[in-house]
Amino acid sequence: MVNLSSFIIAHARRTPDRIALIYGADRISYADFARRIVTIGGWLEARGVGVGDVVAVLMKNSPAFLELAFAVSHIGAVFLPINFRLAGDEVAYILDNGEAKILFVDDALKINARGAKAVEVVDAAAQRDASLLFAGASPAPMRVRKPGDLFRLMYTSGTTDRPKGVIHTYENFYWKSMDHVNALGLNKDTRLLVTGPLYHVGAFDLPGVAVLWAGGALCIHRDFDPAAVLASIESERLDCAWLAPVMTSALLGYPDRNRYDVSSLRWVIGGGERTPESRIRAFAGYFRDGRYIDGYGLTESCSGDTLMEAGREIEKIGSTGRALAHVEIEIRDDAGRPLPARVEGEICLRGPKITQGYWRDPERTAAAFFGDWFRTGDVGYLDEEGFLFLTDRKKDMIISGGENIASSEVERVILELPAVREVAVIGLPDERWGERPVAFVALEPGGQLTFEALDAHCRSKLAGFKTPKELFIRDSLPRNPSGKILKRALRTGEAV
């Protein structure tokens, strides 16, 4: 049996009083967690939810989110977490495309579900204990699942296209968990900060629920707040976390950060972009006993395909590390031919944690593979030791006057300017050149930047055709939950 509830129940038998979930002042033991799972499972079955039915949640972080996820698995149904930042039409599309039978939604998020049709909507409120909603339900027996069965549908963020329903099987999840346990040393004493949104693979999967598989504890924050995060690291002696880059920057820039004892923190996994050396050094300067682990992964792989190895962070600066034990990486050209070391091409993945494809979309599924190699759509290269370096997304490539411009190359140069906090370089239509590169920049507090200064700096580092032709100053840049800048919003004018 591979149902997620199986390992919670096993821990509940062996160490019933061990803490599984921390949420504010609440402490939920493995025994309590197991009881809540089977109770909610019984309520779902009484409502007609059966094996293979899709159960959606539109919720912020809470124990209730995880209780529902595990209860859905317990009865053999399929879990569908939805980004609560999406608009009503986007939520309605996912519910319809995912063929959801029931939707659990926080009361404050009901407006996001207003377009739901043919779906039963249940108010999950902001309950700390989801089983309070299901009082009187009879415990459900486990409906045993097999490794190849569907565990979850997770829709892509839509950075470059309409959201796609990524198929995750139990096999994908458990191979992912094994790799993360091995690479990160997860065990029963691991205490993970969960402050990223649980609907996202960063929070749920990297390493996320694998900590519970190993018998450790999750400390859940409903929202990200720098002071609350630092306080919980101190009070709960948390030793690890996944953080989007914008979260790491907020912690390092928090004015009162030195008030807190953060010596328990051993590591933080970053993601979403290539980390500047300055941030790695700033992290080491504050979290003196911890290390910043650059990583690479995506929804289609349950995240965490490469991780930087201890002691090589500065030597391999700019790399996201090497492939984990059960992941293969090749760089291929547009025809699917493997490329040698240090030659850029499309990053392709193979292994048991990689998705089989997209829900109800055979055409996109077929287009996403070279044989059994998954095409990520990201551009990069491997060095001679197998360390992965990202350079761009294929669709982020700017073509100006027949010349290819990797936007990340320009962005790295602009980030050298002390006044720049974050930057995105995109191509906008140009009658003469086809596209022209432009820069969107958010400045540090009190920072100033003119186009003339930007132009002079870039021309000192880059060929003229790579230099941005316009500068747009913004308070912040739009990002998805994993920290990737939403360049589609900049291209279409949604954030211009």
Domain map (residue ranges) of the chain: 5-291, 397-491
- Taking alpha carbons only, the member of 149, 243, 146, 138 closest to residue 193 is 243
Q: Which residues of 276-303 are buried (b: 16+ CB within 10 A; e: fewer)?
A: eeebbebbeebbeebbbbbbbbbbbbbb
Model confidence at 129, pLDDT cuts 50, 70, 90, reads low
Average pLDDT, integer, range 166-180? 98
pLDDT digits (tens, 9 = 90+) for 45-62: 999 999 999 999 999 999
How many residues can be counted in the chain? Answer: 496
Q: What is the pLDDT of residue 450?
A: 96
Token pair for 167: 């198929």
Q: What is the pLDDT of residue 126?
A: 47
- Rounded distance between C-alpha atoms, residue 57 and residue 78, angstroms: 11
Question: What are the backbone dihedrals phi and psi of residue 351, each rounded to the nearest 5 degrees, phi first?
Answer: 155, 170
Q: What is the pLDDT of residue 118?
A: 66
- Rounded distance between C-alpha atoms, residue 322 and residue 174, angstroms: 20
pLDDT digits (tens, 9 = 90+) for 474-491: 999 998 876 778 887 888
CB 230 within 8 A of CB 253: no
CB 60 within 8 A of CB 223: yes
- Taking alpha carbons only, the member of 403, 457, 456, 412 closest to residue 430 is 403
- Greater confidence, 369 or 482? 369
Model confidence at 406, pLDDT cuts 50, 70, 90, reads confident
365, with CB counted inside 10 A (0-12, 13-18, 19+), is middle
- Taking alpha carbons only, the member of 349, 297, 352, 309 closest to residue 328 is 349
Average pLDDT, integer, range 441-453? 95
pLDDT digits (tens, 9 = 90+) for 266-305: 999 986 566 777 888 899 999 999 999 999 999 999 999 9
CA distances from 235 to 24, 171, 193, 222 (A): 11, 36, 12, 17
Q: Which of 54-63, 128-137, 378-387, 402-411 has the lowest mean pLDDT?
A: 128-137
Q: Which fold has domain 5-291?
A: Rossmann fold (3.40.50)
- Round the average pLDDT of the chain to a whole number and report it: 91
Q: Based on C-alpha coordinates, what's the Rg of the chain?
A: 23
CATH code of the domain occupying 397-491: 3.30.300.30
Question: What are the backbone dihedrals phi and psi of residue 194, each rounded to the nearest 5 degrees, phi first?
Answer: -120, 95
- Rounded distance between C-alpha atoms, residue 140 and residue 67, angstroms: 14
